Structure 1
Amino acid sequence: MPFSLRGDVSAAHSTDGLVLLDERAGRYWQLNATATLVLRALLCGASPGEVARRLTGDHPGLSVEQADRDVADLLTALRRAGLVMP
């Protein structure tokens, strides 16, 4: 399932990751480097499971189960904030 930023959400690079602006609500969201990597991969068509596996390759001490939960938690937070679709 492809993901996209909602049309009224702007993204800008920062020194630590990515800043999302919800223009409708006037709220900013700061993503760290790992959350930025996750969001970019999802926006490029990777599945949450693929992103989790990529994270475990980048962080050898991270289990697949924890990476799955972390990706799911981020995606849930972005959805609840109304930043991403679907």
Structure 2
Amino acid sequence: MKWRLAEHVSFTEADKGGVLLNEARGTYWQVNVTGAQVLRSLLRGNDVPQIIQHLSAAYPDQAAQITGDVHGLIEAARKAGLIQHEP
């Protein structure tokens, strides 16, 4: 399943993560470095299992919670209207 930014949403990376800006509403959503990595990977076409596998290898001491965190981030961003499935 491929994802894209919703219309009127831009994503800017920063040293400590990233910011998604909904230009239509004038609201923003800030993510930490790992959250920015998840969103970047998702928007590049990587699927969720690939993202989870990569993060679990990079952060083995947090592997137990990575799956829930990745799914939680994606669901929260989707519900906030920031990302959506590509048609």
Do the two structures share a fold, i.e. TM-score over 0.5? Answer: yes
Distance 2:16 2:69 in 1: 19
Q: Which has the higher contact order (CA 8 A, sep 6+)?
A: 2
**Residues 13 and 36 of structure 2 are in contact (CA less than 8 Å); yes or no, is this contact kept in structure 1?**
no
Q: What is the TM-score normalised by the length of structure 2?
A: 0.90
Cα deviations by residue, 1:7-54 (Å, 9 ceiling, x for unpaired): 200122222111111112110111110000000111111111110111
Please give the TM-score of this superposition, normalised by the length of structure 1: 0.91
Aligned-residue sequence identity (percent) comes to 38
| Structure (1/2) with the larger strand percentage | 2
Runs of at least 5 residues in structure 1 that lack an aligned partner in the other structure: none
- Contact between 1:53 and 1:67, CA under 8 Å: does it hold in 2? no
Q: CA RMSD in A?
A: 1.1
- Name segments (4+ residues, structure 1) moved above 2 Å: none
